[in-house]
Structure 1
């Protein structure tokens, strides 16, 4: 409504854009060099009536627990490649990895690790492996067994369709699919900052990511200076 008022304008960055202190996020102008005051007053009234035009949310410093699942990595048959990737993403946003645990493809053991990390003070968990629907992919079942009461499997993002969001005693649990190993940017990069900003990610939020949720897989990745994840 603000930009429907004649002779004034306001331009902003995309919604859900990560910004740094003192970075420009919006600009407004009186379009003509000379104008009457009435349009300015009308635009200001619209902004006052509808609340702030912009809202900048700080990212909290989370104590993150990493749960790496899978028989092969648990028994040392293959090297863990997930934890370095996730650690980089967590620390780049100002949080810390407070716990790193491995679990086999056993729903009860995965549930026990989840509970143990929460008992150690982790207030955000990232879980990897077992996110498909194969019979031995049981991470989703482990999350349910741990007691998660809200559970959303699947996002409208590529890469990242098999992403999972659940909540357990108010703690977000994010299930990270294998695409995070093969793509520099995935759905996790869209959701993790919003979780750290205090947003509750549910079914609707995961669905709305679909507009702009297709990564173009450019030869030279320019994210976040690209359309990926900029739909809403």
Structure 2
């Protein structure tokens, strides 16, 4: 037995991290990938901002989007364990509850998913999402837009066959 869930009409925010992007030294090539993936769903991107590398700036952007009623929040990049990568800390500091930081799926192993109490999702997208045709984002995005709240158990089930090609 299975059920078919309808996609929800949602508003999204995309926050592109990286001082090299926010200062214009290099071009943002991540947000076009996210926008292309969102185009398949009834999602309106209400915010698209370059926020730099500072934990406080990333956190404040997440909180501002949440306060504005946006239900899908994406933070691109800055997801590794490098001390200069503050996106995971900013997501934690936003008040959203972390479901998973790291997945058994490649590309996208350093993906982070968190939820606010009202169901708003915050996703930290690692660089692999930008470069790969198919990644962890393709696996979780339809589920989240259908209103499913993913759990640690959902990510654990992805361990079998978690390589996208």
TM range (shorter): over 0.9
Q: How far apart, in 1, do the equivalents of 2:99 and 2:4 lie?
A: 28
1:80 to partner: Cα distance: 0.4
- Aligned residue in 2 for 1:182: 131
Aligned 8 A contact 2:107 2:136 in 1: yes
Q: How far apart, in 2, do the equivalents of 1:190 and 1:146 lie?
A: 24
How many aligned positions are there?
164
Aligned 8 A contact 1:151 1:167 in 2: yes
Larger radius of gyration: 1
Which has the larger displacement, 128-137 or 194-203? 194-203
TM-score under structure 1 normalisation?
0.68
TM-score under structure 2 normalisation?
0.94
Q: How far apart, in 2, do the equivalents of 1:214 and 1:151 lie?
A: 21
Give the 5 Å matches for 1:1-232: 53-169=1-117, 170-215=119-164, 217=165
Aligned 8 A contact 1:91 1:97 in 2: no
SS at structure 2 position matched to 1:103: strand
Note the residue ranges of structure 1 that are not aligned, 5 or more in a row.
Answer: 1-52, 218-232
1:187 to partner: Cα distance: 0.5
Note the residue ranges of structure 2 that are not aligned, 5 or more in a row.
Answer: none
Aligned 8 A contact 2:98 2:112 in 1: no
Q: How far apart, in 1, do the equivalents of 2:10 and 2:161 lie?
A: 28
Aligned 8 A contact 1:159 1:187 in 2: yes
Render the CA deviation track for 1:51-72: whole Å, top value 9, x for unaligned: xx22001111110110111111
Q: How far apart, in 1, do the equivalents of 2:101 and 2:2 lie?
A: 30
Q: How far apart, in 1, do the equivalents of 2:159 and 2:93 lie?
A: 29
RMSD: 1.1
Render the CA deviation track for 1:161-208: whole Å, top value 9, x for unaligned: 111101123211111110122111100000000001111112111111
Structure 1 runs, 4 residues or longer, greater than 6 Å off? none
